[in-house]
Chain A
Amino acid sequence: SQKIEQNSEALNIQEGKTATLTCNYTNYSPAYLQWYRQDPGRGPVFLLLIRENEKEKRKERLKVTFDTTLKQSLFHITASQPADSATYLCALDPSNDYKLSFGAGTTVTVRA
């Protein structure tokens, strides 16, 4: 069966450290992968999109990698801040027909 897995439901880190989140998938060959942030009681907010021919993408303190051989994406938050506390979702387009499938998310808590 097709599956998207995000590492451990929760990640607790100290302010200033780097948070690394994992998104693994099976049986897909997606052309791109997206990452979203979701705060409690709100809709997801788009962060980054990375395409299959891109190894790495950066936006401010965020970095995403995409390894199509390992079928894995890593999402890094560097110099983390308490304001980065949220749930982070990865999403793929399994059939390349613009229908996204989402992982269950990883909740990050940054301690001051």
Chain B
Amino acid sequence: DAGITQSPRYKITETGRQVTLMCHQTWSHSYMFWYRQDLGHGLRLIYYSAAADITDKGEVPDGYVVSRSKTENFPLTLESATRSQTSVYFCASSLAGGNEQFFGPGTRLTVL
């Protein structure tokens, strides 16, 4: 009963590098989400997906790319990391739109 997992849990990278954060859920939930959490801003939606091969932008999508080829996976890629992308990233899933969301444990990313 793994639920929703994220990897890595911690990542340090340098400006300009590409980084991919992984998210995996075992419930076959249709919806998956990526958020970032920063002091003073709370949780902000980056991208979400309503089903495999369907993705849409959230509030802060610039500098990020997502894909969803399988229902259970929703990777988030920072194509060229910047210091402003230093944050804690949370993945979440929900059975259907508007339902409760189940969050992963988070990935703490530091961009030097």
Contacts and interface: CB of A to CB of B under 8 A. Distances in A.
A89 B42 contact: yes
Interface string B11-35: 0000000000000000000010101
Interface residues of A, number: 22
Given A34-B100, A98-B31, A98-B48, A104 B41 contact: yes
Q: Does more than half of chain A's interface fall in helix, strand or loop, or is it mixed?
A: loop
B103 A44 contact: yes
Q: Does more than half of chain B's interface fall in helix, strand or loop, or is it mixed?
A: strand
A101 interface: yes
Nearest to B43: A102
Given A101-B45, A102-B43, A104-B41, A43 B105 contact: yes
Contacts, number: 54
A91 B90 CA distance: 15
Contacts of B56: 99
Interface string B65-101: 0000000000000000000000000101010011111
B40 A104 contact: yes
Nearest to B44: A102
B58 interface: yes
Contacts of B106: 41-43
B102 interface: yes
Contacts of B48: 98-99
